[in-house]
C-alpha cells in the first residue's frame, strides 16, 4: 500500500511539472535598441584622427537581454579620418536579437594659408618656423585676371626674353589662361583647323605660366591642383634659366595626364599616368637640351582629374628632394644625378607629350566641358624657414 502511494505521488508530480512547462509561453518578442544619430567631426588640416565620445546604446527587452558592440569603435576611442560604422546588437535569453548602427564621420578642414600643409608632425627644424613668401604665392582671388607682378605667360614675350610656343601638336596661346572663381585655369582645346607656326604644325592649344621670381634651395613649395580630363598634361614644376647650360636642372613636382590614349606606349598605361603623383629630377647636360640624366619616383592615387589634390615639395638641400601628397611625405629623391643648387622658376603648363599622343580620329575632347578640359590651381604657396 505504501508502495502504491509512492507511485501515485511520483505520477502526480510529473503531471504537475508537465502542465506547468506547457503553460509557459515561448518568448518570441525581440528586444529593442536605438542608436544615436550619425556623428560628424571636423579636425584641423594637419590632424589625422579624433577622440570621439557618444552615448553607448543599451538594448531593452521584456525579460533580460545583453548588449554588445559588434562593429566599430567604443566611445572615447580614437577614430581615424573617414567613416567608421558602429553597430550594437542586443540578444535576449531566447536568442532573439535586434541591432542598430550609426556612423562617426571624421573630415579634415581645408589647409590654412598660415602654415604649410603637413599632416601630423611637420618636418620643421628645431628653432625654425615657416614664413610665407608672397612674391612666390598666389590665392588667385583677384578679379582682374592673372597677377602680372608675379607671373609671365607664354607666348607673350617678356622683358627677360622668355618665349615658348609649345611642343607640337599643342600650341600655347594667351587665351587659354584665365583667373576665375578663385582659381587659375589653363584650358586644353582642339583647334578648328591645323595651324602652322615657325614650320611646326599644331592641332591643339594649351598654355604655360612662369613665375617672375626664382625658387631657391631650402624653400617649401605647394599647390592645390585639379588636373584636366584630356590626354594633355597637368603640371607643377621648376626649371633654371634657358642659358644655364651645360648645367641646367628641371624639377617636376607633379607631372601627369588626364586620359591615356590607346596609341600610348604600354609603360604609360601600366604606369597609370592618369592616376599618379609623379616627380622627376632632371639634369640637362647639353646646351642643345637634348641630353639629360634623371631620377624619378611616383605613387598611385585617385584619378588626377577627380579632385583637387595638394602637391608639395621641400627642396631640403642640394641633394635632398622630398615630395608630399595631401600633406604627407610620399617619397624622397635623394642624391640626384647632380646637385640641385641653381635657382629655378615655377612653371604651370598644359601641353602635349609624344608618349601620350592624341587619338588619330581627333575626337579626344568631344563631350568634355571647358572646366573638364582645364587644369585648375586653387592656390600656390611658398615658404621659407626663419628663426623663431
Residue 142 and residue 80 share a domain: no
Domain contains 26: no
Residue-wise pLDDT tens digits, 44-73: 887 889 999 999 999 999 888 999 999 999
- How far, in Å, CA of 215 to CA of 340, rounded? 11
Q: What percent of the chain has pLDDT over 90?
A: 73
329 has a pLDDT exceeding 60: yes
291 has a pLDDT exceeding 90: no
Q: What Cα–Cα distance (Å) separates residue 54 from each residue in 34, 41, 104?
A: 13, 12, 10
Domain contains 47: yes
Residue 237 and residue 88 share a domain: no
Question: What pLDDT, on a 0 to 100 scale, did the predictor assign at position 110?
Answer: 80
Question: What pLDDT, on a 0 to 100 scale, did the predictor assign at position 161?
Answer: 59
Q: What is the mean pLDDT of residues 283-301?
A: 83
Q: What is the mean pLDDT of residues 239-261?
A: 89
Domain final residue, candidates 78, 108, 138: 108
Q: Which of 290, 295, 284, 293 is nearest to 245 (CA)?
A: 284
Which of 112-116, 128-132, 214-218, 267-271 has the weakest average pLDDT?
Answer: 112-116
SS3 200: strand
- How far, in Å, CA of 134 to CA of 387, rounded? 18
Question: What pLDDT, on a 0 to 100 scale, did the predictor assign at position 15?
Answer: 43
Domain contains 18: no
1 has a pLDDT exceeding 60: no
Residue-wise pLDDT tens digits, 10-21: 444 444 444 444
Residue 247 and residue 185 share a domain: yes
Q: Determine how many CB atoms are found less than 10 A away from the CB of residue 368.
A: 19
Domain final residue, candidates 56, 75, 108: 108
Q: What Cα–Cα distance (Å) separates residue 252 from each residue in 25, 153, 373?
A: 76, 19, 21
Collect all residues with Cβ–Cβ distance below 8 Å to 2 and sequence separation of at least 6: none
Q: What is the CATH number of the domain that holds 92?
A: 2.60.40
Phi, psi (rounded to 5 degrees) for 365: -105, 10
Residue 102 and residue 135 share a domain: no
- In the residue annotation, 250 being an active-site residue is answered as yes
Q: From the candidates 250, 259, 351, 378, which is the catalytic residue?
A: 250
250 has a pLDDT exceeding 90: yes
Residue 196 and residue 60 share a domain: no
DSSP 102-169: EEEEEEEPPPPSSS---SSS--PPTTEEEEE-GGG-B----SSSS-TTTEEEETS--TT------STT
344, with CB counted inside 10 A (0-12, 13-18, 19+), is buried
Q: What percent of the chain has pLDDT over 70?
A: 91
Question: What pLDDT, on a 0 to 100 scale, did the predictor assign at position 18?
Answer: 46
CB neighbour burial string for 231-259, b if at least 16 within 10 angstroms, e if fewer: bbbbbbbbbbeeeeeeebbbbbbbbbbbb
Residue 227 and residue 374 share a domain: yes
Domain contains 98: yes
Question: What pLDDT, on a 0 to 100 scale, did the predictor assign at position 3?
Answer: 46
Range of the domain at 45: 39-108
Residue 185 and residue 86 share a domain: no
Domain contains 266: yes
Residue 212 and residue 74 share a domain: no
Q: From the candidates 222, 255, 351, 378, which is the catalytic residue?
A: 255
Residue 171 and residue 49 share a domain: no
Residue-wise pLDDT tens digits, 128-156: 999 999 999 999 998 888 999 999 987 76
Domain contains 7: no
Q: What is the mean pLDDT of residues 283-291?
A: 73
When the pLDDT of each residue in the chain is averaged and rounded to a whole number, the result is: 89
Q: Which of 231, 193, 195 is nearest to 364 (CA)?
A: 231
Q: Which of 205, 167, 173, 213 is nearest to 189 (CA)?
A: 205
323 — pLDDT class (breaks 50, 70, 90): very high
- How far, in Å, CA of 187 to CA of 292, rounded? 29
Q: What is the CATH number of the domain that holds 364?
A: 2.60.120.200
Rg (CA), the chain: 32
- In the residue annotation, 255 being an active-site residue is answered as yes
Domain contains 369: yes
Q: Note whether 361 and 121 are within 8 A (CB).
A: no
Residue 60 and residue 134 share a domain: no
Number of domains in the chain: 2
Q: Can you give the pTM of this predicted structure? A: 0.80
Domain final residue, candidates 76, 108, 140: 108
Domain contains 71: yes
Question: What pLDDT, on a 0 to 100 scale, did the predictor assign at position 132?
Answer: 97
Residue 181 and residue 261 share a domain: yes
Residue 136 and residue 97 share a domain: no
Amino acid at each position: 500500500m505504501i508502495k502504491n502511494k509512492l507511485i501515485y505521488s511520483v505520477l502526480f508530480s510529473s503531471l504537475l511539472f508537465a502542465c506547468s512547462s506547457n503553460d509557459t509561453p515561448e518568448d518570441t518578442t525581440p528586444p529593442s535598441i536605438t542608436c544615436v544619430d550619425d556623428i560628424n567631426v571636423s579636425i584641423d588640416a594637419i590632424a589625422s584622427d579624433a577622440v570621439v565620445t557618444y552615448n553607448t546604446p543599451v538594448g531593452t527587452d521584456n525579460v533580460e537581454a545583453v548588449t554588445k558592440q559588434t562593429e566599430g569603435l567604443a566611445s572615447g576611442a580614437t577614430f581615424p579620418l573617414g567613416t567608421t560604422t558602429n553597430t550594437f546588437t542586443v540578444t535576449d535569453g531566447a536568442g532573439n536579437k535586434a541591432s542598430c548602427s550609426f556612423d562617426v564621420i571624421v573630415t579634415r578642414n581645408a589647409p590654412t594659408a598660415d602654415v604649410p600643409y603637413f599632416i601630423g608632425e611637420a618636418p620643421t627644424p628645431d628653432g625654425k618656423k615657416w614664413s610665407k613668401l608672397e612674391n612666390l604665392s598666389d590665392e588667385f582671388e583677384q578679379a582682374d585676371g592673372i597677377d602680372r607682378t608675379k607671373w609671365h605667360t607664354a607666348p607673350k614675350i617678356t622683358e627677360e626674353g622668355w618665349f615658348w610656343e609649345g611642343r607640337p601638336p599643342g600650341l600655347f596661346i594667351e587665351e587659354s589662361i584665365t583667373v576665375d572663381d578663385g582659381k587659375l585655369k589653363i584650358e586644353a582645346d582642339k583647334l578648328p583647323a591645323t595651324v602652322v607656326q615657325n614650320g611646326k604644325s599644331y592641332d591643339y592649344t594649351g598654355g604655360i605660366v612662369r613665375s617672375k621670381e626664382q625658387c631657391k634651395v631650402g624653400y617649401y613649395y605647394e599647390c592645390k591642383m585639379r588636373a584636366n580630363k584630356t590626354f594633355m598634361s597637368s603640371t607643377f614644376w621648376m626649371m633654371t634659366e634657358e642659358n644655364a647650360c651645360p648645367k641646367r636642372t628641371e624639377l617636376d613636382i607633379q607631372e601627369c595626364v588626364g586620359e591615356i590614349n590607346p596609341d600610348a606606349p604600354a609603360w604609360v598605361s601600366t604606369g597609370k599616368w592618369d592616376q599618379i603623383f609623379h616627380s622627376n629630377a632632371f639634369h640637362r647636360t647639353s646646351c642643345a637640351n637634348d641630353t639629360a640624366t634623371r631620377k624619378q619616383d611616383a605613387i598611385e592615387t585617385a584619378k588626377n582629374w577627380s579632385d583637387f589634390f595638394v602637391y608639395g615639395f621641400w627642396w631640403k638641400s642640394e641633394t635632398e628632394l622630398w615630395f608630399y601628397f595631401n600633406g604627407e611625405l610620399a617619397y624622397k629623391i635623394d642624391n640626384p644625378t647632380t646637385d640641385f643648387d641653381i635657382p629655378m622658376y615655377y612653371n604651370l603648363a598644359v601641353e602635349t607629350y609624344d608618349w601620350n599622343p592624341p587619338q588619330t580620329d581627333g575626337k579626344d575632347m568631344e563631350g568634355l566641358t571647358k572646366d573638364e578640359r582645364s587644369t585648375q590651381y586653387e592656390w600656390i604657396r611658398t615658404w621659407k624657414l626663419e628663426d623663431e
